[in-house]
Structure 1
Amino acid sequence: MLAVLAKLPSFRGESRFTTWAYRFVVLEVSAKIGRHFWNHRPGLPLDELDGERMPALFGFSAEREAEWRELLEVFRHAVEHELTDRQRRVFKAIVLDGVPLDSLCVELESNRNAIYKTLFDARRKLRTALVDKGHLREDR
């Protein structure tokens, strides 16, 4: 309530007051949740991703352990050497750690479209690396 009252001078009257207040509250709460998530999130560096977490995350079967271990090694190498620092951070946060997109936007001081584009580019680079190493077909 205090935050809404503090922002009251910025109300221009272009919409109903309740609509403006609800929007303000939603944005304020979203930002606070994002900050809370980043302050209390357990981190896991990419080099510490072991053979237990990754297979379960991507649905690899135990019967084909040699294949997925090789695939994971190619994947790790591609993440470390093909992606930019920002792409690596976005990919790891969203895909591997399951960070909510809005939380990542707050942490990186960015917007959804920029994060989507960064993630798209990262996935394209990773796919190209996996195709080049023979782990994926090119016709997809």
Structure 2
Amino acid sequence: MENRAEDVLDRDEPLDDDGGVARAVDPVVAFEIDAAPADPDDDWIAGLHGDGLVRDDAIRRLHELMIRASRYKLARMSEARRLGRARAEEIVQSSADEAVMAILRRLDSFEGRSRFTTWAYKFAILHTATAVRRELWTHAEVDLDAIPHLASPIGDPLAHAEGRALAQALRRGIDECLTPHQRRILLAIVVEGIPIDVVADRLSTTRNTVYKTLHDARKRLREQLQAQGFLPPAAAEEVNR
């Protein structure tokens, strides 16, 4: 139960409407995908900012890289095996397309803190992960108004007394400190494990809006638990950094 309480407060999943650039690409992924020789960053930027055939060629090469990154991500998602080969390839192609468009929109935000290809790969990786999650939840019954409450703790009463007290305070906080909308979002994502993008689709809103609601709900809960002595002041201050 202690782990569940920590999940409610700590398991963030930041997503960005322009391609998820808030999440850094796994260094191992970057190393393995980026192992082949790559063009200098200046060549990429110049080509994508260029005109005519020069730009067309740069976009073609970028799309090939996005397909490579998307297939890499797909191969490492165990749940993607349920998609079937044909649907998986459709997701690879569409994710690569979306990644290229997102990169072109945000090209001027590239600051050179990493290789251009490393920066670009994360767009394909996140678009692929999002597409897979959305596909697997497409036909699932998701009733956001019927999400169960946070489960009661299980185990030895003496061994888990402190955890039970925290869990009870957390449940009270969810009931008393959160708005109905915040409670609905937090329980759906953290307790039921429904992906943020699926919740956003069902509510006809954006992932960033859902994430902001989740962030605000966690902040309220942290402040409540800190006021009751379950968390040290530093834990609450960390939220506001």
2:39 is matched with none
**Partners of 2:143 and 2:175 in 1: CA distance:** 25
Q: How does 1:92-107 map to 2 (within 5 A)?
A: 92-107=187-202
Per-residue CA deviation, residues 84-114 of structure 1 (Å, 9 max, x unaligned), is 1111011101111111112111111111110
Correspondence 1:139 to 2:234: yes
1:110 is matched with 205
* Structure 2 segments unaligned to the other structure (5+ residues): 1-55, 57-62, 64-92, 99-127, 236-241
Q: Report the count of equivalent residues.
A: 113
SS in 2 for 1:135: coil
2:53 is matched with none
**Partners of 1:112 and 1:95 in 2: CA distance:** 15
SS in 2 for 1:36: coil
Give me the TM-score of the superposition, normalised by structure 1: 0.64
**Partners of 1:71 and 1:28 in 2: CA distance:** 36
8 Å Cα contact 1:130/1:136 also seen in 2 = yes
Q: CA RMSD in A?
A: 3.3
Structure 2 CA distance for partners of 1:70 and 1:29, relative to 1, 3 Å: closer
8 Å Cα contact 2:152/2:167 also seen in 1 = no
* Structure 1 segments unaligned to the other structure (5+ residues): 1-14, 56-60
Q: How does 1:117-136 map to 2 (within 5 A)?
A: 117-136=212-231
8 Å Cα contact 1:34/1:102 also seen in 2 = no
Structure 2 CA distance for partners of 1:31 and 1:80, relative to 1, 3 Å: same
**Partners of 1:123 and 1:29 in 2: CA distance:** 27
**Partners of 1:80 and 1:118 in 2: CA distance:** 16
8 Å Cα contact 1:94/1:100 also seen in 2 = yes
